[in-house]
Amino acid sequence: MERSRTFIALEIKEDLKKRLAAVQQKIGTQTGGIKWVKPDNMHLTLKFLGLTPEDKIGEISDILENTAGGLNSFAVSVSGFGAFPSRNNPKVIWAGLKADEALIKLQKKIEISLEPLGFSREKRPFSPHLTIGRVRDGSAKKKLKDAFENIQADLDSFEVKKITFYKSDLMPEGPVYTVLKSIQLSNSI
C-alpha cells in the first residue's frame, strides 16, 4: 500500500516569513553549522501524522473539514526565540508563539478527531512554534547561545485563516510540501 509523509499545519503570512529570514541571516553571521528552514517552508505544525496510507487521505480531509470548517479565524502572536531541547543544548531553533486559547482548542480538536483513524495523541504538551533552523554542528552551540541574547526582531501577530493538510516529500535539497487540502476558517478578522 502506498504511503506518504503527512502533517497538518497553519500557514504564516509572507511578511513574517521575511522577518524570520532576516533573523536567520543575523544568527547565521554570528554562527555556522545550522541548516536553515527555507522561508517558503515555514509553518506551524498542529499534528504530524507521519507515513499515512493513501487510502486515508480523503477520510482525513473530511475529518479536518468537519472539525475546523466551522471555526472562526483568530490571531496568533510571535513571542521570542528559543531552542529544543534547551538554549544550552540547541538542536532545533524556533520562534515561539503565544498559546492563544483558540489555537490550543483547534490543536486539541484535531488530535481527538484523528484518533479513531489510528493516529495516537501526542504525549508531549503542545508547544506552538515555528521551526527556523536545525543545529548540525556541535561547535555552533556556544555561539548560538550568545546569538540568542542579541536577537532583536520586530515580529508581530498573524491571522490564522485556514488549516492546511500537507504531504511532505524528503529531497536532498530539503523537503517539498504539497497541499492535499485547505480548510478555510470563518469570519476573517
Catalytically active residues are 43, 129
Q: Terminus-to-terminus CA distance in the chain, angstroms?
A: 42
Instruction: Determine which helix (DSSP H) or strand (DSSP E) holds 82, and give its type and residue range.
Output: strand 74-85
**DSSP classification of residue 89:** S
SS3 177: strand
What does DSSP say about strands 129-135 and 174-184: parallel, antiparallel, or unpaired? unpaired
Count of C-beta atoms within a 10 Å radius of residue 36:
19
Largest separation between any pair of C-alpha atoms in the chain: 50
- How remote is the C-alpha of 81 from its chain's centroid? 14
Measured CA to CA, the distance from residue 71 to residue 102 in angstroms comes to 9
